[in-house]
Copies of this chain bind each other. A is one copy, B any other.
Amino acid sequence: MGILETHRVAVVGASGYTGQELLRFLLVHPGIELTAVTSRQEAGRSLAEAFPRFAAAPRARDLQFVEPDVGAISATGATIAFLALPHGVAHDYAGPLLEAGLRVIDLSADFRLRDADVYEEFYGHAHPAPEWLEEAVYGLPEIHRDRIVEARLVASPGCYPTSILLPLIPLLEDELVDAGSLVASSASGASGAGKKADPSLLFVEVNESFRAYGAPKHRHLSEIEQELNAAAGAPVRLTFVPHLLPLRAGIGTTIVADLNVTPEEARDRIPAVYGERYGEAPFVRILGEGAFGDTKHVAGTNFLDIGWAIDERAGRLLVFSAEDNLGKGAAGQAVQSFNLMTGLPETTGLPTL
């Protein structure tokens, strides 16, 4: 490994689970100098004090959380800012930071939809900063790599969308499955719900529990449809059902779709389709037919694993994906975009096993 160029980076809003995972990656990222890390809640404490896991990381001991202030962040010389803020809050910082000349990687949902009307339909209020929607790039590196490289504002995808889009987009583009027949059933570890004092997220409520929620119109459905529609070239018909799992992190998604081709043809073409699309993608692992994926094999990483099965009796394809909702589903993916934006090797700073 040669000498990497170092980029001055700020993280805005880093006290939640996504923020912590993002810091875990950034603190050891060889191409990053953290100049500011903000958190209203933790302001004044060092990263090491706020996150005991980081207690022995030199950068974590020296760096204190500060109040989020665009001018102060800009004054640190940061050229790129990660926003790990709640949905509906990120836009307050994204615009000013962009205007101050920084590039922004936003992990919230604020800029993921190109259409402000869809935003309003799913989020229940007018988009607060629609002027940035056109410029924002949906930060799925395997799909929008070229645009991410040039982007000023990357809207890093949600955890569920990533687990559905990466398996489905190549199949829709190649018309292997019927875009009018899509059913996606996902299940997520509890960190996906955030670090909030909600009694329904207490250990006693999640342990020994499995439950659907949010269906039929979970907010993430909007961005899933946006990207699938683009891949299919027409509106898809998708039902998406999320479930809550008694595990820390990990999303498993099972997609069922009618095959447009015979099982034999599917069996032949799917490996080629995935191979073509993801053969060079360092974070998508194609497990093959008959493999199901397992959240424990991707926990803590930026990988998304894909397997599938062909239901010959029903003429359907089953696709299985597994990712860490905090990794490829959030913080890892954002770092991957960062690497592309700065010209670093795509895997820089991300664990490879």
Partner-B contacts on A (CB < 8 A): 1, 17, 24, 27-28, 52-57, 60, 183, 185, 187, 189-191, 195-199, 201-213, 215-217, 237-239, 241, 243, 245-250, 252, 254, 256, 282-283, 285, 287, 292-301, 303, 305, 309-316, 318, 320, 322, 351-353
Q: Please determine whether A237 and B314 come into contact, CB atoms closer than 8 angstroms.
A: yes
Given contacts A187-B187, A197-B199, A312-B216, contact A256 B241 (CB under 8 A): yes
Q: How far is the CA of A197 from the CA of B201 in the complex (A)?
A: 9
Q: Could you tell me the distance between the alpha carbons of A55 and B283 in the complex, rounded to whole angstroms?
A: 11
CB < 8 Å: which of B212, B294, B305 contacts A254? B212
Partner of A56, one of B209, B320, B353: B353
Q: Which residue of B lies closest to A293 (CB)?
A: B211
Give, as a whole number of angstroms, the nearest-CB distance from A79 to chain B: 24
Task: Report which of B54, B203, B256, B294 forms a contact with A52, defined as CB distance below 8 A.
Answer: B294
**Protomer copies:** 4
| Chain B proximity of A187: nearest CB distance (Å) | 6
Indicate if the CB atoms of B292 and A211 lie closer than 8 Å: yes
**Distance of A301 from chain B, by nearest CB (Å):** 8
The docked-state distance in angstroms from the alpha carbon of A60 to that of B353 is 9
Nearest to A197 among chain B residues (CB) is B197
Q: Which B-chain residue is minimally distant from A52 (CB atoms)?
A: B297
Other-chain residue from B189, B202, B292, B353 in contact with A212 (beta carbon distance below 8 A): B292
- A241-B318, A316-B239 given as contacts; is B212 within 8 A of A190 (CB)? no
* Docked CA distance A239–B308 (Å): 14
A-B pairs, 8 with minimum CB distance = A216-B311, A203-B206, A197-B197, A185-B185, A210-B252, A211-B294, A209-B296, A190-B203
Cross-chain contact B241 with A254 (CB below 8 angstroms): yes
5 contacts between A and B (CB under 8 A): A52-B305, A55-B287, A205-B296, A208-B248, A212-B293
Chain B residues lying within 8 Å of A195, measured Cβ to Cβ, are 199, 202, 204
